[in-house]
Structure 1
């Protein structure tokens, strides 16, 4: 029922997730390749797989990642919980943080190849500014496996998250400046936050992008992106575009408010854009960029150049070569 399913079906064979056919193909496969590492992705029989244990243990799992890992995800991605065959990374510091952190993988398991999806990034700038925050674990209820999503929780409008982004999206000063310089403001929050989308005040000048919007299209058309801690912005920086980090709740985020803790990446010293903590500071920074044509500043360009292991479009090729090698077919 998704646009992605229809789109991918034009490229190759697709199977409904968690269907009988999916489960049978999983039993028959040698290698499971995914950008996700949640239990049902790695094992569609999760919760009732004891009788299939020996068959399932033979499967190789390649973790493509669904973003560059700059935070500490060792509490759920360590070898004792996931035991992946190949763990794709994009930056040398990212790889080292996994090899020498509390993930407990053999170094040969951590592959420095680059994210495959970076190969399809492109430029189509059209004077758009996008606000794209990630989610917060403490702002949602329990996960409903049957419905396939997180349940909403009372009190969202009282949260610092809501107050910051609602204030930013409806700032008269920001909207007037964007009108003056011919820019459009877009809001594209994490899918889990969409259960609260109707809570935000919606100025007619702000475009709330629909769920089916392609991320790479947002990256291509946007000239500046404001986020908080989303790893998705690494795609944006790969295109050499400016970023603003809105970190009004940083202490809470990294001390239990979410699923990750602080990692090797320091946003002030390593980040690819300014770090702001107040709505008005975010407004000032966005306006400054708009006045200068959203040009990436030299110091952030230098950080980007140093950070990534590769600056090309051969990530897929490197990943395929590593998969074949892991399967003894290189």
Structure 2
């Protein structure tokens, strides 16, 4: 970490400490007011509303109007209007945000401490027991790796939501939480997933790379990550396939890679998608085939019984710098072929499109075995579990 970055973080931590201390001091005078009494504070990361927190907020405001709930989102967020049309909003980073954090009875987010003005600072503060209220971890996706930073002791939460039996058993047995904290309820966003209809669109959605954090564009274009995916996007064989099946390919890098999207090549049938263009869920619903590497979005795709290709050209390096493997083995448990070179990926894509984007029987059996909880009641189950915790 450079000196300038360190100083900026230090100043931000001091600012948060002062504002939060003041908010805690005035908490006794405002906690019974209409705005703050029995408040449920909900967020994703303070900048977005397109994941499980958004769908739970939408469910609660529509079906449980007696709950005093407010969504934290920044003024410049591309998703702000979507949230404003549903219910009450608190500006991310405002002093009202600090007061709401101090006062709120229930705190809900898709990311650990996602409802706070500064995640890193409040994670540390929470370890000291200085963040009050019931804490709910909705999750951002299904866990498949050994995420030690989510172990009990590193995180304090009253509810840890899981969505599949193998995931639930793995977290329950290995993460060290007390009985009843880890519950299999289903991701709230799954209620909005739809059965597939052909769109003639192929989605390429890779995850991020820890090894590329902090690099500039010149360094980025020298990486295997850039070279491999740009090679895919500019492939003559891909262009022929897209034309053959009258398809379009949409490339959507992880949010942490979005700063480099202008480095990638687009064409008549290859479109580069940004965070502001659409939500991840819209892309998952409105495409026929997913090509990914290690991104957990493939679980959402499989949930809809849509075909997946795993392009894992840097498997060894990924495991070295990123998350260590958990219970999920892509070759044994995955919902599509695991491939390491471009040509086999394109051969498999051709095969999938030729069979009208249907999932092969082998992978359909794996999907049905993995997802034993598949209905439209995830939001309801999450709400009931949170309400029970709030009333303790």
Q: TM-score, normalised by structure 2?
A: 0.76
Q: CA deviation at 1:187?
A: 0.4
**Counterpart in 2 of 1:268?**
331
**Counterpart in 2 of 1:214?**
279
1:163-182 alignment to 2 at 5 Å? 163-182=227-246
**Counterpart in 1 of 2:181?**
109
1:156-305 alignment to 2 at 5 Å? 156-212=220-276, 213-256=278-321, 258=322, 260-305=323-368
Contact 1:132 1:227 in 2 (8 A): yes
Separation of aligned partners in 2, 1:234 and 1:111: 18
Q: Deviations over 1:56-105 (max 9, x none)?
A: 4432110000111111112x11111111110000111111111222x211
Contact 1:152 1:195 in 2 (8 A): no
Q: Deviations over 1:203-235 (max 9, x none)?
A: 232011231211221111100000001111211
Contact 1:27 1:56 in 2 (8 A): no
Contact 2:289 2:306 in 1 (8 A): yes
Q: CA deviation at 1:152?
A: 3.6
**Counterpart in 2 of 1:62?**
136
Separation of aligned partners in 2, 1:58 and 1:252: 40
Q: CA deviation at 1:54?
A: 8.3
1:50/1:254 CA distance change after superposition, 3 Å? closer
Separation of aligned partners in 1, 2:347 and 2:193: 29
Contact 2:97 2:117 in 1 (8 A): no
Q: TM-score, normalised by structure 1?
A: 0.89
Contact 1:114 1:309 in 2 (8 A): no
1:52/1:173 CA distance change after superposition, 3 Å? closer
Q: CA deviation at 1:52?
A: 10
Contact 2:310 2:338 in 1 (8 A): yes
Q: CA deviation at 1:315?
A: 0.6
- From 22, 34, 47, the equivalent of 2:97 is 22
Contact 2:203 2:291 in 1 (8 A): yes
Larger Rg: 2
Q: Deviations over 1:262-309 (max 9, x none)?
A: 110000110011111011111111111111111111111110101013
Equivalent residue pairs, number: 315
CA-atom RMSD, angstroms?
A: 2.2
1:157/1:54 CA distance change after superposition, 3 Å? closer
1:48/1:96 CA distance change after superposition, 3 Å? closer
Contact 1:268 1:275 in 2 (8 A): yes
Contact 1:32 1:42 in 2 (8 A): no
Separation of aligned partners in 2, 1:304 and 1:52: 37
Separation of aligned partners in 2, 1:198 and 1:317: 41
